[in-house]
Structure 1
Amino acid sequence: MTRLNVIGVHLYLQREDGRILLGRRHPGVAFAGDHFHFLAGHLETEGAKAGLIREAEEEAGLAIAPKDIELVHTVHMLDERADSDGQPRLGLIFRARTWTGTPEIREPDKCMEWTWADPHRLPTPMVTYTKVAIEAIGRGERYTELGWN
């Protein structure tokens, strides 16, 4: 059976002190309630950079220029748990070199707080693939597969 991949864009935003931006998801969301995760979203009918820029503005009030975005990691995952939809997913993780604005809660039904976390002491609970990606980025790795046999 053919299943199309869902494509998500994720923001790896890192301050000069090395801390990265993570959001704590609302407990009522369908995926990973009350877990820490990247600022992220699914692509609509748009390019990946445009989708990331849109999500950053919608979710946190941040402005990012396309020229300041670079792809730093890709996660290709398949979640076959009983409570999962089993949809294969491709996560594109982009670093923004510069941005304007201070993260604010713009979608309180999805994200309860933004925090700047030390990538070597991540908060818990953390979305598994977010943690895996942060660790891989720290090692300079560009690609991870999860859940494929």
Structure 2
Amino acid sequence: MSDRFRVVPASYVFLLRSGGSGDEVLLQLRQHTGYMDDHWAAAAAGHVERGETAYDAAHREAREEIGVDGLELEFLTSMQRTQHAEPIDERIDFFFSARTWNGEPRIVEPAKCAALEWWPLSALPDPVVPHERVVLDGLGTGLPSYTTFGF
């Protein structure tokens, strides 16, 4: 048995728009996924599939989860993260934002998403998936290109 760990890549998309009290972000309320259910999370996110770039995964997840395409993605940060309970399973997450897209965001997978709502970055709901909250909090102050979580 090898001591090497497996790195699982994922892409996240935060749709942003200007609102009355500053920028707003579109978040989904997770349900029945087995991970962070009843937490608010990026409107679109998921694993990068074999042979797919993180950018391609971000576009695919936006189509599959909220029915939008043509996103003009801006790279925000990469995050290496782990859970102390499962150090063999480490993650590398790629976070993107988009202010331009085609289509009206909507819930495409109602079995996994209980709600889809715009929230001011200055007044996010509770709870938000913890590692995603780190990125959302950094949107107003600037993010380094590389971050870590759980180490």
Q: TM-score, normalised by structure 2?
A: 0.88
Q: Is the 8 A contact 1:80 1:86 kept in 2?
A: no
Q: Secondary structure at the match of 1:16?
A: strand
Amino acid at match of 2:40: F
User: Aligned equivalents of 2:18 and 2:139: distance in 1?
Assistant: 16
Q: Secondary structure at the match of 2:17?
A: coil
User: Aligned equivalents of 1:103 and 1:40: distance in 2?
Assistant: 14
Amino acid at match of 1:102: E
| Alpha-carbon distance, 1:110 to partner | 1.4
Cα 1:108/1:119, change in 2 over 3 Å: same
Amino acid at match of 1:22: L
| Alpha-carbon distance, 1:137 to partner | 2.4
Pairs aligned (count) = 143
Residue in structure 1 matched with residue 141 of structure 2 by the alignment: 139
| Alpha-carbon distance, 1:139 to partner | 1.3
Residue in structure 2 matched with residue 19 of structure 1 by the alignment: 24
Map 1:67-78 to 2 at 5 A.
Answer: 68-78=72-82
Q: Secondary structure at the match of 1:117?
A: strand
Map 1:26-45 to 2 at 5 A.
Answer: 26=31, 28-38=32-42, 39-45=44-50
Amino acid at match of 2:149: L
- Cα RMSD between the aligned structures? 1.5
Residue in structure 1 matched with residue 63 of structure 2 by the alignment: 57
Which structure dedicates a bigger proportion of its chain to strand?
2
Q: Is the 8 A contact 2:81 2:90 kept in 1?
A: yes
| Alpha-carbon distance, 1:41 to partner | 0.5
1:73-131 CA distance string (max 9 Å, x none): 222111123xx585111110111231011111111121111111111111011100111
| Alpha-carbon distance, 1:16 to partner | 2.1
User: Aligned equivalents of 2:142 and 2:16: distance in 1?
Assistant: 15
1:41-67 CA distance string (max 9 Å, x none): 0011211111111100100101124xx
Cα 1:101/1:31, change in 2 over 3 Å: same
Q: Is the 8 A contact 2:4 2:88 kept in 1?
A: no
Map 1:97-112 to 2 at 5 A.
Answer: 97-112=99-114
Which structure 2 segments of 5+ residues have no match? none
Q: Is the 8 A contact 1:75 1:133 kept in 2?
A: no
Stretches of 4+ aligned residues off by more than 3 angstroms: none
Cα 1:86/1:79, change in 2 over 3 Å: farther
